[in-house]
Amino acid sequence: MVTLDLRHVASPAVRDLLHLVNHPGFDRAQQQIERLGGCTEPVRLTGQSTTVDTATGEVLRSYTSSDEPTGSLLTTCGNRRASRCPARSRLYAADTYHLIRAGLTGGKAVPDTVRTHPRVFATLT
């Protein structure tokens, strides 16, 4: 393993990034970053989880965030406001379109008979 001397790098953020890129678990960290889909305010989850079969007591799976390269699991912020997270805002806007469309025309477990129902689009602020 090669140790890099990063003390000459002025920016702490760049130093952290270079350290992460050279970390043996970088592939896992890269997976987490890709799954964020551009989220600007990811949530860092820490802790552990164990799934147990209640009938047998057998541990089916277990997870701990301490096994992650950064010590935490990154997940999206879920914020719908474009001023806070443009990437999540675009995703929720697309979801909203499809939900409204399904409510008006049917689909996505909504029967096609909704097409004949009266419609009102009210916005409250």
Please give the average pLDDT of every successive group of 10 residues along the chain, which has 125 residues. Answer: 62 76 80 85 92 95 90 86 82 76 77 80 80
* Predicted pLDDT of residue 62: 95
| Helices 26-35 and 12-21: angle between axes, nearest 10 degrees | 120
H runs (alpha helix) in the chain = 12-21, 26-35, 86-105
Cβ proximity of 43 and 74 under 8 Å:
yes
* Predicted pLDDT of residue 51: 96
* Predicted pLDDT of residue 5: 65
* Predicted pLDDT of residue 45: 92
* Predicted pLDDT of residue 31: 87
